Amino acid sequence: MYSVFTRACAPGTLWNQKVQACSRCDDEAVTCENSGPKPPLGSDQCDGYVDGTTLPPLPPVEQPDQNCTDDAGLMKSSVIGEASKFFINYPNHDPLGPMSCEPYNFSLSLCRCNAPEYDGVDFGFEGSFYAAGNIAFSVPNSRRNVYFVNESRVGDQSVYLDGMGHIEFPLFKQNSPRAPFSVALWFYVDPMVSNQRKVALVNNAKCHIAPTFELSVQGGEVVVTIVTDNGTFSASGQLGGAYQGEWHHVRASYNGAILSLVLDNSLAAEVPADGDLLSNEAAWVVGLNCYQDTQQGGPTSSLTGNVDQLEISFK
């Protein structure tokens, strides 16, 4: 008895996992469960070859179909023939994607990946801008001034920003994390960067929208600022050793009562804070603060250097 991926394929055809469509039984790419052999001709599903001209045309590999709206107000659409994929739709822009929920399917009823509850996202930047578990997604900016390089602090690769690029996390639009949460990353500032520049690490600013979360560094001083429904709170600390030309690790945490900053595994600051972090229309951004550049003046905020092992933990 052969257990095959029929996927409602017509008699004489089997599921072709590679192209995500039904193919003739004699196609080498059709598959059976558990890597079993294909059923022979004469079986119920493959009683004979089917002329390719009699099969319906293949649908596009990636095509948005039904839409839903998630809790953050983002409209998403499923993909015909690709149960694990979806697009994010923005007004007056091309859909972003396709993004994959592998190994899970995209759920229209949940309007997200039908995956177990998760406690954060982890961008290792090992050749991909996808987060582990495909819960979040980041893309380099359109100018392509973002590269994967072999110099890294964790793993084999990090991401390099040349001072003209940045990375965005669109799934965090109108979806700021609730306390407790923390943001952590390794960063390397190029020696060419001036001590007078306030360099953006992570924030949720747009050119016309002030951030409600901002993590930055200037002359070796790291500052984290959050804006909640109860006010604005900041914590800061000084890096040890050289500011430029060395890898440093920073972790900013907020538990609903305390905003803390840990630099290179040493507690640098703790300040009282309360309230829920405000959400806004901006994506979370690495390596640029457009609000600082356009509304506050001063030298550019763009990071020239590397980022590695970026984690946003919801616990």
- Does the pLDDT value for residue 4 go beyond 50? no
Number of neighbours of residue 263 by Cβ within 10 angstroms: 22
Tell me the H-state helices in 122-172: none
Q: What is the pLDDT of residue 299?
A: 79
Range from 109-113, 140-144, 264-268 carrying the lowest mean pLDDT: 140-144
- Does the pLDDT value for residue 146 go beyond 60? yes
- Does the pLDDT value for residue 3 go beyond 80? no
Q: How far apart are CA 8 and CA 28, in angstroms?
A: 19
In the chain, what percentage of residues exceed pLDDT 70? 76
Number of neighbours of residue 166 by Cβ within 10 angstroms: 22
Domains of the chain: 1-58 (no CATH), 64-113 (no CATH), 120-313 (2.60.120.200)
Q: Virtual CA dihedral for 250, 251, 252, 256, nearest 10 degrees? A: -170
**Residue 260: band (very low, low, confident or very high) from pLDDT cuts 50, 70, 90:** very high
| DSSP three-state, residue 224 | strand
Q: For all residues of the chain together, what is the average pLDDT?
A: 80
Which tokens belong to 127?
């050749």
Residues 163-205: pLDDT tens digits?
888 888 876 777 778 889 999 999 999 999 998 899 999 999 9
